[in-house]
Amino acid sequence: AQVDKAGYKHFMAKEIAEQPAVIGTTLDRYLDAEGRIHLPANGLDFARIDRISMVACGTASYACQVAKYWFEQLARLPVDVDIASEFRYREPPFVANTTALFVSQSGETADTLAALRYCAEQGLQIASLTNVPESSIARESDVALPIEAGVEIGVASTKAFTCQLTALFIMALKAAQVRGTLTPAQIADHLVQLRQLPGLINATLSLSDRIEDVSRKLAEARDVLFLGRGALYPLALEGALKLKEISYIHAEGYASGELKHGPIALIDRKVPVVVLAPTDPLFDKTVSNMQEVLAREGKVILITDAAGAKRAGEGAAHVITLPEIPPALAPILYAIPAQLLAYHTAVAKGTDVDQPRNLAKSVTVE
Ligand code: G6P
């Protein structure tokens, strides 16, 4: 079926706005009304998996990096994450009972597919998470899981990313259930919170005008840093990737704790620093990194919640206040302001948001 912009100025804007609905579809796909998790029966037996090797490119690889925190923290299941172009030529060895998981919006990325074929030759169980059930990656998998994001047209991935995260979080919960690392009550709590995600994303989307104001300032920058800790670190990488892809502003994502090992040398009043900091157990550490930026006259754009704004808002040039969310789900919600910052900055600069120069939606050649 032909997909149109449905009144939006760009596909990217439409796809950002669709997230509450499509995440709802992903949830319905994997959870029933009684709150039970349904993954394909022939599929992943987390009791017999000792390690997961996740492989992807671009934005999908950042979804894997977030998932590593979830699988390791919730299910105590070790995860390796690789970008496919490196993995495929490294000829990595595997420990017994490793399952390989390939994450790809299109299911056609050449490097990811080559990595899959390498793992299949090694005799690994092959699982995949794609947005296209007929894709090569899905077809060549032992277990092919869909994300149900609907067709994504904007070259910069948005709704596919948050649907990938949602499906990966459910898989991590399933692993925790099977491996007995969370109690049934803890799992039930996570599932109740997961159901609140579409509403929280909706509330976050209503901050679009506020983020547009901040973006007009960001559009003047030559370099931008994104900082985050824990599972928000991959979101810092994703925020920087989105911004550079569509606004052509040089941006880098860093783990907050790594600031003093290099990027702090760049800080001056001309380099905006976007700090992604929900109030979680690592909040105070991130705030002290933010202080280091402020002490060097850096302009901080703090993305946090109301409690975080109260504790740390002073000194920041801009504070974007998101709804409160349980720390485990914060990486999904904090994707929204990262997308909106990139989108509005690109619009302010007048770049081609949906078809940025030199980039392709699906990289099917090496
Ligand atoms: C391209 C796209 C990105 C995407 C990446 C991986 O670079 O521009 O948005 O994240 O490919 O694509 P895949 O279809 O494998 O997720």
| pLDDT score recorded for residue 41 | 61
Number of the ligand 1 atom closest to the C-alpha atom of 156: 9
Instruction: Please indicate whether residue 359, judged by its CB atom, sits closer than 6 Å to ligand 1.
Output: yes
Q: Quote the ligand 1 centre to 136 CA distance (angstroms).
A: 15
Instruction: Please indicate whether residue 112, judged by its CB atom, sits closer than 6 Å to ligand 1.
Output: yes
Nearest CA to ligand 1 atom 7: 58
Gyration radius from the chain CA atoms: 20
Is 77 or 313 the better-scoring residue by pLDDT?
Answer: 77
Residue type, 336: I
Instruction: Please indicate whether residue 59, judged by its CB atom, sits closer than 6 Å to ligand 1.
Output: yes
Q: Quote the ligand 1 centre to 215 CA distance (angstroms).
A: 24
> Among candidates 220, 338, 342, 325, which has minimal Cα distance to 276?
338
Tokens of 102: 């390939």
**Sign (positive/negative) of CA torsion 103, 106, 109, 115?**
positive
Instruction: Please indicate whether residue 157, judged by its CB atom, sits closer than 6 Å to ligand 1.
Output: yes
Number of the ligand 1 atom closest to the C-alpha atom of 56: 15
Query: Is it the case that residue 330 has pLDDT exceeding 70?
Result: yes
| pLDDT score recorded for residue 360 | 84
Q: Quote the ligand 1 centre to 107 CA distance (angstroms).
A: 9
| pLDDT score recorded for residue 42 | 64
Is 70 strand, coil or helix? helix
Which residue among 158, 363, 365 is best mutated to probe the pocket of ligand 1, counting the most ligand atoms within 8 A of its Cβ? 363
Positions marked active-site: 361
CA 297 to chain centre: 30
1 confidence band (pLDDT: 50, 70, 90): low
Q: How high is the ipTM of this complex?
A: 0.95
- What pLDDT, in 10s, does the model give residues 237-287? 999 999 999 999 999 999 999 998 988 888 999 999 999 999 989 999 988
Which residues touch 34 (CB under 8 Å, ≥6 apart)? none
Q: What is the average per-residue pLDDT within 38-48?
A: 84
- Rounded distance between C-alpha atoms, residue 319 and residue 213, angstroms: 11
Q: For the whole prediction, is pTM greater than 0.95?
A: yes
Instruction: Please indicate whether residue 114, judged by its CB atom, sits closer than 6 Å to ligand 1.
Output: no
- Rounded distance between C-alpha atoms, residue 30 and residue 37, angstroms: 6
Which residues touch 273 (CB under 8 Å, ≥6 apart)? 224, 225, 226, 227, 267, 290, 293, 298, 299, 300, 301
For residue 237, report the phi and psi dihedrals to the nearest 5 degrees: -65, -40
Strand positions, DSSP E, the chain: 51-56, 79-83, 98-104, 125-130, 143-146, 223-228, 250-255, 272-276, 299-305, 318-322
Which residue among 15, 61, 105 is best mutated to probe the pocket of ligand 1, counting the most ligand atoms within 8 A of its Cβ? 105
Which residue among 11, 12, 57 is best mutated to probe the pocket of ligand 1, counting the most ligand atoms within 8 A of its Cβ? 57
- What pLDDT, in 10s, does the model give residues 91-148? 899 999 999 999 999 999 999 999 999 999 999 999 999 999 999 999 999 999 999 9
- What pLDDT, in 10s, does the model give residues 180-199? 999 999 999 999 999 999 99
Q: Map tokens 């850096």 to a residue.
A: 298
| pLDDT score recorded for residue 117 | 97
